[in-house]
Every structure is written in structure tokens, then in C-alpha cells.
Amino acid sequence: MEKIGLSNGLSVSQVALGAMNFGTSVSKSEAFKVLDAYLDFGGNFIDTSNNYAHWQGTGDESETLLGEWFRSGGKRKDVVLATKVGFDRHGEGAGLKKEQIEYWIDQSLKKLRTDHVDLYYAHTDDVNTPIEETLEAFDSLVKKGKVLKIGASNFDTWRIAESNMIAKERGWTPYTVVQQKFTYLYPKFGVLPKYTFNESANRERLRFLETKDIPLVAYACLCKGGYDNLSRMPSEYELGKRYEAIKDMAADKGLSVSAMVLCWLINLRKLKDYPVIIPLFSARANHLIENLRATEIELSTEELEILNSIE
Ligand SMILES: NC(=O)c1ccc[n+]([C@@H]2O[C@H](COP(=O)([O-])OP(=O)(O)OC[C@H]3O[C@@H](n4cnc5c(N)ncnc54)[C@H](OP(=O)(O)O)[C@@H]3O)[C@@H](O)[C@H]2O)c1
């Protein structure tokens, strides 16, 4: 699998692997199998958080499992490791105050059994804490070598712009990766997602990222497996002609619809007004290789335009 040199100097594989359910709904032995197979295929970009997956456990499981996998296989050096801070986990952890950031990075490093993370995200915005306090805290982690780069997830575009302007003025580390929900299907007009932070990236967001040379890490891009099993499709998405179009192209290319969506996302950066997009998905062993085949198929700009033209 090809590696992409990001504008912040990190070199990541074309697709990222989400570890959200590892250690909870995905068992340790299956998670190890998926992680090994992803690396064998050339993947290197692994995503977790300090609170995964607290809704089905304590919130320590995913990072702890990754730490065990690093220890048992010596693979830490082969991975660009991303984790996050700022979301609630059983009534603790929500927010981006200095003391929270300093506390949770040490918890994450301990669980992950590593001395640094390559990418540390603010998991969601905290409008009650001054931007300066958050950025200065992140910057001090970079200076200490605990974190290489920082990213913003689930932020409004204007808040990212404002934060990076302040970072520039103060000489602090800016947000150089954005993680947001994004997929091929459009959300239904007027239907808001269950959680307000959880909005899909729109065209304005994509143009902003392209202009600033900030890559988008696109989460929930497989719609919980809904592309190949419509009974799992979240109700917020419009199916219609757009679904038929991606399904038809998947059949032409010999890919599952899920893999076709990954392929579309990877290739979009060939078009004007699109940033580098790294799809971030999770999968069990039964779907992993089928999904990774998306990286072996090139789409022409004409094919991308056809898919994009469907309303
Ligand atoms: N920043 C944020 O706020 C945020 C929010 C959510 C997620 N994330 C990150 O994004 C990652 C992925 O998110 P996600 O798991 O919510 O969404 P997703 O990748 O859109 O959906 C994953 C589900 O799709 C199914 N699937 C995968 N490949 C398939 C295929 N080829 N055919 C049919 N079904 C397939 C799998 O179901 P089975 O498990 O049943 O196989 C899997 O659980 C997470 O692990 C996490 O790292 C970030």
C-alpha cells in the first residue's frame, strides 16, 4: 500500500485502521489478527482514543490492547499512532483544560506502552476553555517529546482557523490533521445527527482543508457496514441514485460497496478543491482484506466526476 507524505511530515498509509472496538466487542485474539494483517498489507496508521470504548467497557480497553500488541510484537516503530483526549468517559475526561491534557497523555502513554504518540487529537472542541490554554498545553507536550503532531476532531471549521491563527502568532504547534465524519452518501437534508459534534464534513470544510493543506481523516466512512448490508445503514443517510451509482461502480471494479467507498475517498485528492483524504475504518478479520483491496484500484478523474455528479 502506498504511503502518503502529509504536510506535517508524517508518512501514513492510504487508509487508517480504527481500534475503537478492540478489547471490547472485538476480542483480543481477533484484534491482534486484524492489526497484524493490516501491517502485513502495508498499513501503518492506527487510530484510538483515551475513552474507547467506554460505552461498552471502562474506556481503557482499546489503548491497553494496543499496548499489549506493541509489547508482544515489537511493532510500535512501524506504526503512526494516533490517540485522542477531550471526550467524556463515565463522567470524567471531558474538556481540553491544561490539567486534563497533561493528565490524559500520561494515562495514554502508560496504556499504550510507548514514550510518545505521533498524532494527538483534541477529540471534540471545548468552548469553555480558552483556545490559548489548550494550545499551550498541547505545545508543551510537543516540546517534551510526548507528542509529535496535533490534530482536531469534530471542531467547527472557524474554530480550527482561529486556533491555528493563534498558534501562529504565539509560535505554538498548530492543528495539522482534521478528523471528521465523511462518506459518499449525503446526510438527509435537514436531518441532524444524534450528537451535534458528529456532523459530516461538507464542501466548505473540504475547501478549507485543501487551501490550508491539512489532510482529512474521514471516520464513519463505511456507515457501520451499511453499504453492504442496508439493514445496518444509519437512518441519517439518503440512499437513492447515489447509492445505486457507487454500487454499480463497485460491481464493475469487482469490489464490495464498502471497498468502493474507500477507493473513492482515497482518489478524491486528484480533484480540485479536495484535500488529501485518509479513510479511517474499522473491520473484523472477515472484511479487512476485502477493504484493503480498495488501495489497489486507481480511479480516473472522469470516474470520480461521474460519482460526484450524482445528486
Ligand atoms: N473522531 C471521532 O469522533 C470518531 C467517531 C467514531 C469513530 N472514530 C474512529 O473511526 C473508526 C471507524 O469508525 P466506525 O467503526 O464507527 O465506523 P465505520 O468504519 O464506518 O464502520 C465500521 C463497521 O463496518 C463494518 N464493515 C467494515 N468493513 C465492511 C465490509 N467490507 N462489509 C460489510 N461491513 C463492513 C464492520 O462491522 P463488523 O464489526 O460487524 O464487522 C465495522 O464495525 C473507529 O474505530 C475510530 O477509530 C472516530
Backbone angles phi, psi at 122, to 5 degrees: -75, 115
For 268-295, the pLDDT digits (tens) are 999 999 999 999 999 999 999 999 999 9
- pLDDT tens per residue, range 67-97: 999 999 999 999 999 999 999 999 988 999 9
DSSP state of 57: S
In percent, the amount of the chain with pLDDT more than 70 equals: 98
pLDDT of residue 191: 73
Judge whether residue 98 has pLDDT over 70: yes
What residue owns the CA closest to ligand 1's atom 4?
Answer: 219
Question: Length of the chain in residues, anyone?
Answer: 311
- Greater pLDDT, 202 or 4: 4
Cβ(257) – ligand 1 distance below 6 Å: no
Q: What is the C-alpha separation between 49 and 24, in angstroms, rounded?
A: 14
Query: Could you tell me the distance, in angstroms and rounded to a whole number, from the CA of residue 208 to the centre of ligand 1?
Result: 26
Nearest atom, ligand 1, residue 197 CA: 3
CA of 223 to the centre of ligand 1 (A): 7
Q: Give the least confident one: 53-62, 185-194, 205-214.
A: 185-194
Average pLDDT over residues 228-243: 95
Contact 227, 261 (CB under 8 A): yes
Q: How much is the average pLDDT of 100-109?
A: 98
pLDDT given at position 196: 65
Q: In the chain, what percentage of residues exceed pLDDT 90?
A: 93
Residue with cell 502529509: 6
Residue 192 has pLDDT above 80, yes or no: no
pLDDT at residue 46 is higher than 90: yes
- In the annotation, is 52 catalytic? yes
Phi and psi at 204, nearest 5°, equal: -60, -45
Q: Is 52 in the pocket of ligand 1 (CB under 6 A)?
A: no
Atom number in ligand 1 closest to CA 123 = 1
pTM for this prediction = 0.97
Domains defined for the chain, CATH in brackets: 3-309 (3.20.20.100)
Residue 213 predicted with pLDDT over 90: yes
Q: Nearest to residue 151, comparing CAs of 69, 25, 49?
A: 49
CA dihedral 273, 184, 218, 20 (to 10 degrees): 180
Mean pLDDT of 205-225: 97
Query: Which atom of ligand 1 is the closest one to the Cα of 20?
Result: 45
Q: Is 294 in the pocket of ligand 1 (CB under 6 A)?
A: no
Rounded to the nearest 10°, the torsion over CA 140, 146, 147, 153 is -80
Q: How confident is the model at residue 195 (pLDDT cuts 50, 70, 90)?
A: low
Instruction: Indicate the residue type of 42.
Output: G
pLDDT tens digits, 113-161: 999 999 999 999 999 999 999 999 999 999 999 999 999 999 999 999 9
Ligand 1 centroid–CA 238 distance in Å is 19
Provide the grid cell at 11.
508518512
